[in-house]
Amino acid sequence: MSTTEAGAAGGKDVEIVFHGAATTVTGSCMLMRLPGGPVLVDCGLFQGPKALQALNYARLPVDAGSLAAAILTHAHIDHAGMFPRLVREGFWRRAFSTAATCDLLAWVLTDAGAIHESEAERLNRRNRKRGAEDVKPLYTVEDAERSLGRLAPVAANAWFEPVPGTRAAAQCRPYPRLGLARNGDRRQAGRGAAALRLLGRPRPARQVPVLRPRVAR
C-alpha cells in the first residue's frame, strides 16, 4: 500500500512515502523525510471491505518513536483515526493541527475508541460461544484521551515550524485545512526555509500531470 516520491524544497532533498490512501482512498498516511527530521502527515483509519480494515491491525508502517513531528490535516477518521494507536506505540512529539481540528478530535477520537471497545466486546461474546480467543480493540477511549495530550494547536493562516528548516501554515480558504506553504509563499516563510504545499490540486484535474510513483519495498 506504499508508494514513494522524491523531490526538493528550499534547495533540500525531500522524500515522501505514501503509506495510506495509495491504491485506495482511505487510511491517509504520508511520511515526509525532511532535512529537519521525519514528519508524518495524517494517520488515518482504513475503511471499507474487510481486507482494507485488516490493515488497521497490521504493524505500523513507521517507527512511531523516531518521528520528529506529525501534522493532522483535519478531523476525518480516515485522516486521523489511527493517531491514538500511533501514540500508544511510542509517538511522543507534537502533532500540529488547527485549533478547530484539535477541538473536533477530542470528540471524534474518544468516540472512535468507544466504538472499537464496543465492537471488540460484541465479537468476544460471539467468540466465547465458539470457544475462540478474545480480541482486543484497535484502541480504547483511554488511548484516545491520552493521545490528545500530543496535539499542538496552531493558529489559522499563521506560520509554524514542525521541524527545523521547514515552515508550514494552516490555510483557511474557504475552511480550515492544514497544509505546508506553496512555493510562492517561500519568501514569507523565511529565507532558506523549505516551503511545500499539501492542499490538494491547485488547478483543474486535467492540468495536473500524472506521476508514476515508485513502489516502496
What are the tens digits of pLDDT across the range 142-197?
999 999 999 999 988 788 999 999 988 877 655 444 444 433 444 455 555 555 55
Q: Write phi, then psi, for 85 (nearest 5 degrees).
A: -70, -40
Give 193 or 100, the one with higher predicted confidence.
100
pLDDT on residue 138: 97
- The second-level CATH assignment, the architecture, of 3-107+139-210 is 4-Layer Sandwich (3.60)
Number of Cβ within 10 Å of residue 212's Cβ equals 6
CA atoms of 146 and 13, how far apart (whole Å): 34
Share of the chain above pLDDT 70, in %: 73
Alpha helices, H only, the chain:
50-53, 77-80, 83-88, 99-130, 141-147, 186-189
Q: Using CA atoms of 175, 22, 15, 193 in order, give the dihedral in degrees to the nearest 10.
A: 0
Query: How much is the pTM?
Result: 0.79
